Amino acid sequence: MDKIRIRGGVALHGVIPIGGSKNAALPLMAASLLSAEPLVLCNLPHLADVTSMANLLNQHGVEMSLAEDLGRGANGGHCLRLDASRITSTEAPYDLVRKMRASVLVLGPLLARCGEARVSLPGGCAIGARPVDLHIKGLQQLGAEIEIEQGYIHATAPRGLKGAEVVLPIPSVGATENLLMAASLAEGETVLVNVAREPEIVDLAQCLVAMGAEVAGAGTDRITIKGRERLNGATHRVIADRIETGTYMMAAAITGGEVLLTGTSLKLLAAVGQVLGAAGIEVSEVENGIRVKGANGDGRPVIQGVDVMTEPFPGFPTDLQAQMMALMCIADGAAMITETIFENRFMHVPELCRMGANINIHGASAMVRGVKRLTGAPVMATDLRASVSLVLAGLAAEGETIVNRVYHLDRGYERLESKLAACGAQIERIRTS
C-alpha cells in the first residue's frame, strides 16, 4: 500500500488548480442512466471514486468514452461521454456498492427508467452508520414498492413512479439527489421539502434541466419537479470541488504561506472563508479563484482559535471538519469543534494527538488547545478527510510524517502530492506495490 512522506515546516507559495467536485460528479454520472441519449460530463476529476462509479455504471451497460474532441479543461479535468442507451442490468452488487456509498445513487435513476432496481445496502462506514432509510421512504412515496432482501434494496414500480410531496425529516444530500433524479421521470409533479441545499444539488438540477427536466427551487429547501416521459442527452460541466478548495485554503493557513487557488469560487464556501477570516487568515475572491494568505509572526504561522460547528450547507461542511481541526491544533488559544452531521467523525483525533496535539473529545465536541508545534510521526486514518487532515498536520509539523493508507486520499484528491509540491512542500509518495 502506498504511503506519503512529508517533511514539514515549509510555507506553501504558489498556484493550485482545483478540480471538478467529486460529490457533484458521482450523482451526475448516475444521472446518465435517466436517458437513452449520451450525457457528456466535462471537468470530471480523475479520482478513485469516479472510477468506482464508472465501473458500476459499466456493469449496468453504460458505455463510456473520453470525449477527446472536447479536450481537457484548464485544471486537468476530462470530458466523459456516458451512453446509457442500453441498460443491461438493474443490479448494483455488494462488491461495488460497499467500496463507495454513493453507488446507492443509481437506485432512483434505474427505478425511474427501468421500473426496477436491485441495489445492495451500503452498510456502515468509518464516520457513522449512514442509513439510507430516507432514500427508501421517499421512493416509496413516489409509488415504488420496496423490499429489503438478503442485504439488497429491491425496488419495483411496474406502472412507473408518480409525483408526490415528500418531506425529508433531515436534509440528506444523497436522498435529495436520488429523489430529484427519480422524480424527473415520474408522472406529474413532485415537491421535495426540507431538502439539502448543497451546491452539488444545484449542479445536478442544472444538468437535469439541460437534459430536458423541469426543476425549480434547487439551492433552496423546496424543489419542484415536473416529471417528463423521457430525458434527452446533454453536455454539462461539473462545478469546482469546494472541499478540495477548503483543504488547500487550510494548507496555506497551517504553513503560514500564500496560495492562489484557480478554477474555484469563494461563493461555494462562504462559511469557510468567514471562519478562516476569524482565525486571522486573509481570504479574498480574485478573478477565477481565491487567494489565501496565512499570517506569520516570530517565524511561525499565527492562527487564532475559533469555534466551529458543522452544519448542512450553507453552514461549515462536515467534510472540512478534520482539516479545520488540524489547523486549530497550532492556534493561539482554544477551539471547540462540534460535529453535528456524523456521529463518529473524530477518527483523526488520536492520530493528531500522536503528533503532539492537545485535543479532548466530549460527546459531539472536541476541545482543541493550541500547541506551539506539532511533531512528525507515522500516522494512519480510516477515512478520506481524516487522512488529509494528517497531511495538513504533517506540512506544519517538525520533522518527518508518514501517512499510511493513501488509498483513502486517492478517493477524493487528484494529484495531491504534486499540487502541494508545486507550492514548495516536501512531500512524496512512496510506492510499495
Ligand X SMILES: CC(=O)N[C@H]1[C@@H](OP(=O)(O)OP(=O)(O)OC[C@H]2O[C@@H](n3ccc(=O)[nH]c3=O)[C@H](O)[C@@H]2O)O[C@H](CO)[C@@H](O)[C@@H]1O
Ligand Y SMILES: C=C(OP(=O)(O)O)C(=O)O
Residue 424 burial by CB count (10 A; 0-12/13-18/19+): exposed, middle or buried?
middle
Residue 281 binds: one of ligand Y, ligand X, none (C-beta under 5 to 8 A by kind):
none
Binding track over 13-42 against ligand Y, x by CB under 6 A: ----------x-------------------
State the binding string over 285-304 for ligand X (x if CB under 6 A, else -). --------------------
Q: How far is Cα of residue 379 from the mean position of the Cα atoms in its chain?
A: 23
Look at residue 173 and give the partner it binds from ligand X, ligand Y, none, a contact being a CB closer than 5 to 8 Å depending on partner kind. ligand X
Q: Does 385 bind ligand Y (CB under 6 A)?
A: yes
Site for ligand X in 100-159 (CB under 6 A): 101-102, 128, 130-135
Asked if residue 312 binds ligand Y (CB under 6 A), the reply is no
Residue 99 annotated as lining a ligand binding site: no
For residue 249, CA distances in Å to 20, 174, 258 come to 16, 26, 9
- Collapse the DSSP code of 30 into the 3-class scheme (helix H, G, I; strand E, B; otherwise coil) and give the result: helix
Smallest gap from residue 307 Cβ to ligand X (A): 20
Looking at 342, 390, 394, 416, which residue binds ligand X (CB under 6 A)? Answer: 342
CB-nearer residue toward ligand X: 101 or 226? 101
Position 348 contacts ligand Y (CB under 6 A): no
- 372 marked as part of a ligand binding site: no
Residue with smaller CB distance to ligand X, 172 or 247: 172
Residue nearest to ligand X (CB): 174
Q: How far apart are CA 201 and CA 176, in angstroms?
A: 8
User: Any contact of residue 205 with ligand X (CB under 6 A)?
Assistant: no
Which partner in ligand X, ligand Y, none is near 236 (CB below 5 to 8 A by kind)?
A: none
Active-site residue, 42 included: no
User: Considering 125, 207, 329, 423, which one is annotated as catalytic?
Assistant: 125
- Measured from the CB atom, the residue of 78 and 385 that comes closer to ligand Y is 385
175 touching ligand X, by CB under 6 A? yes
Binding to ligand Y (CB under 6 A) within 102-121 occurs at 102
Give phi and psi for 74, each to the nearest 5: -55, -30
Separation of alpha carbons 26 and 412, rounded Å: 11
Residue 303 interacting partner from ligand X, ligand Y, none (CB closer than 5 to 8 Å by kind): none
Among 16, 39, 173, 179, binds ligand X (CB under 6 A): 173
Q: Are strands 289-293 and 258-262 parallel, antiparallel or unpaired?
A: antiparallel
Give the whole-angstrom CA distance, residue 135 versus residue 106.
11
By CB under 6 A, what part of segment 69-88 binds ligand Y? none
**Binder of ligand Y out of 249, 412, 417, 420 (CB under 6 A):** 412
Q: Choose among 114, 131, 102: nearest CA to 24.
A: 102
* Residue 319 labeled ligand binder: yes
Beta bridge partners of 402: 5, 378
**Alpha helix positions (H), 172-269:** 173-183, 199-210, 242-255
The CA distance from 372 to 297, in Å, is 12
Rule CB under 6 A: is residue 179 a binding residue for ligand Y? no
Footprint of ligand X on residues 46-105 (CB under 6 A)? Answer: 101-102
Binds 170: which of ligand Y, ligand X, none (CB < 5-8 Å by kind): ligand X
Distance CA 173, CA 183 (A): 15
Residue 162 contacts which entry, ligand X, ligand Y, none (Cβ below 5-8 A, type-dependent): none
Is 134 annotated in a binding site? The answer is yes
CA distances from 1 to 49, 383, 406 (A): 17, 15, 7
Neighbours of 360 (CB within 10 A): 11
Residue 341 known to bind ligand: yes
Alpha carbon distance 312, 36 (integer Å):
34
55 is in an annotated binding site: no
Q: Residue 162 corresponds to which cell in the numbers above?
A: 408518480
Quick one: which of 83, 319, 339, 417 contacts ligand Y (CB under 6 A)? 319
Instruction: Please give, one letter per residue, the 3-state secondary structure of 348-412.
Output: CHHHHHHCCCEEEEECCEEEEECCCCCECCEEECCCHHHHHHHHHHHHHCECEEEEECCHHHHHH
427 has binding-site annotation:
no
What is the number of H-type helices and E-type strands within the chain?
Answer: 14, 26
**DSSP category for residue 76:** S
**CB closer to ligand X out of 22 and 405:** 22
The entry of ligand Y, ligand X, none near residue 384 (CB within 5 to 8 angstroms by kind) is ligand Y
Interacting residues toward ligand Y by CB under 6 A: 23, 101-102, 319, 384-385, 412
Annotated binding residues for phosphoenolpyruvate, written as ranges, equal 22-23
Interacting residues toward ligand X by CB under 6 A: 23, 26, 101-102, 128, 130-135, 170, 172-175, 196, 318-319, 341-342
What residues act catalytically? Answer: 125
